[in-house]
Amino acid sequence: MKGENDPLASFWMPFTANRAYKAHPRQLVSASGMHYRSADGREILDGTAGLWCCNAGHCRPEITEAIAKTAATLDFAPTFQLGHPLAFELAQRVAALMPEGLDRVFFTNSGSESVDTALKIALAVQRARAQGARTRLIGRERGYHGVGFGGISVGGIVGNRRTFGIGLPGTDHLRHTHDLTRNAFSRGFPQHGAELADDLQRLVDLHGAETIAAVIVEPMAGSTGVLLPPVGYLQRLRDICDRHGILLIFDEVITAFGRVGGATAAESWGVTPDILTMAKGLTNAAVPMGAVAVKRELHDAVVDHAPAGIEFFHGYTYSGHPLASAAGLAALDIYSAEGLFDRAKQLGGYWEDAAHDLKGRRSVIDIRTTGLVAGIELEPRPDAPGARATELFHACFDNGLLIRATGDIIALSPPLIVGKAEIDEMFSLLGDLLDVID
Ligand SMILES: Cc1ncc(COP(=O)(O)O)c(C=O)c1O
């Protein structure tokens, strides 16, 4: 209907309690370095790198200038049957950062698209290898793989699934690894739970390996509250995949580009997947872009052995968009020049101590950290799960700190340029506010 007067009404906001937000809107109007500025003129310390994505901090001139220059030179160029140099250059640079062997790169526009692309690549690889009966895709409970139908089907969050029907047929799920009884307040990776990887063997025994194309996991589940892999878990998954010809996909949409140290969690934690998804930090989030890195032999299985013509029938109008490619190249330059992939290791100990100092604060039932990520789990109110963390999120924002609340878990993942003084500021404010929230 034309003539709507409420300026907040038209935007149907994503993953938002729209009615609550519009009753009490909190808007961001500018950003620089470690801070946002709110519409009411306050500085907000960014404890979440936006949404796990502005790893080099906000509004970096090197990136904004690269985008502006490219917008004025080559606003758009198709990458279907054509191309432009920036996309090729970025693919080569990304390939060089990936774990050994994953040097073929497909561009998308988001994490969700990267996940659906990775699942399709897995199916195409199995078919190209004359394993076309392998169509089953395995995910994990509490996994988040974006919002495409592929991603929600292998994902394990009920809210992403209950409204949308049955999703892809032929998916199944490993159990999640979150176990507060055995692992609460662990430092580093939890000691207990590697045996949960044997769930994959259970699914092989149930479905038959010859029907399973791939298994997808986040090396560290971020969106459901910073769930770290138990010691030995990822390697055990890798071993079971190898034994049965199952492709292993790591969804590194939040962990790639320095979050846990090194360019990828795979590199940092010494387990190499066959396919790796990324997005977010790829362009420092200045222009939407995602990518999928694939082992060369898998790429070759699909591309080299196909009949003449299009080998992989998939792509997006904006795959390798010039502005995103320019932003990506500038972001990678900053990461390298400032050594930002080393920050999580350099600051990880300080960060871990600061987070664990919150032990004993009101309602805190677990603290877990890795690299520059922290999850602080609160006891849910019996009558209102999630309410306590949401109140804390609002209180933090009103007091100048951006955190992320997911269920009753607070997730922190600041830009990698964060300093010790800002870490102190974050955890001291959080501690004070935890004490006043009942
Ligand atoms: C592991 C993982 N996969 C996929 C996605 C989806 O990314 P996007 O929101 O860019 O589609 C996210 C988003 O947070 C994520 O954390």
**Residue 214 Cα, ligand 1 centroid: separation in angstroms?**
19
Residue 288 CA: which ligand 1 atom is closest?
10
pLDDT in tens, 347-370: 999 999 999 999 999 999 999 999
Q: Which of 117, 55, 84, 67 is nearest to 285 (CA)?
A: 55
Handedness of CA 199, 144, 177, 282 (dihedral sign): positive
d(CA 404, CA 422) in angstroms, rounded, equals 17
| Ligand 1 center–CA 436 separation, angstroms | 32
Among 270, 292, 265, smallest CA distance to 122 is for 292
Q: Does residue 111 line the site of ligand 1, with CB under 6 A?
A: yes
Instruction: Decide if pLDDT at 3 tops 60.
Output: no
Mean pLDDT of 13-22: 96
Q: Which pLDDT belongs to residue 5?
A: 76
pLDDT of residue 161: 87
In the chain, domain spans: 18-56+341-436, 65-337
In this model, does residue 273 exceed pLDDT 80? yes
Pocket test for ligand 1, best of 16, 54, 112, 113 (most atoms within 8 A of CB): 112
118 lines ligand 1 (CB under 6 A): no
Test site for ligand 1: of 52, 53, 54, 115, most ligand atoms within 8 A of the Cβ: 115
Q: Which long-range contacts (CB under 8 A, 24 or more apart) does 381-386 make?
A: none
Kindly give the number of the ligand 1 atom that is closest to the alpha carbon of 280: 10
Rounded to 5°, the CA angle 112-179-251 comes to: 20
pLDDT, residue 6, reads 87
pLDDT higher than 90, residue 156:
yes
Q: How far is CA 189 from the centre of its chain?
A: 18
Which CATH superfamily groups domain 18-56+341-436?
Answer: Aspartate Aminotransferase, domain 1 (3.90.1150.10)
Residue 420: pLDDT band with limits 50, 70, 90: very high
Confidence of residue 376 (pLDDT cuts 50, 70, 90): very high
pLDDT at position 2? 61
pLDDT of residue 233 exceeding 70, the answer is yes
For residue range 116-144, list pLDDT tens digits in order.
999 999 999 999 999 999 999 999 999 99
pLDDT of residue 95: 98
Q: Give the helix/strand (H/E) hosting 223.
A: none
Which of the listed CATH numbers 3.10.450.50, 1.10.1060.10, 3.30.300.30, 3.40.640.10 matches domain 65-337? 3.40.640.10
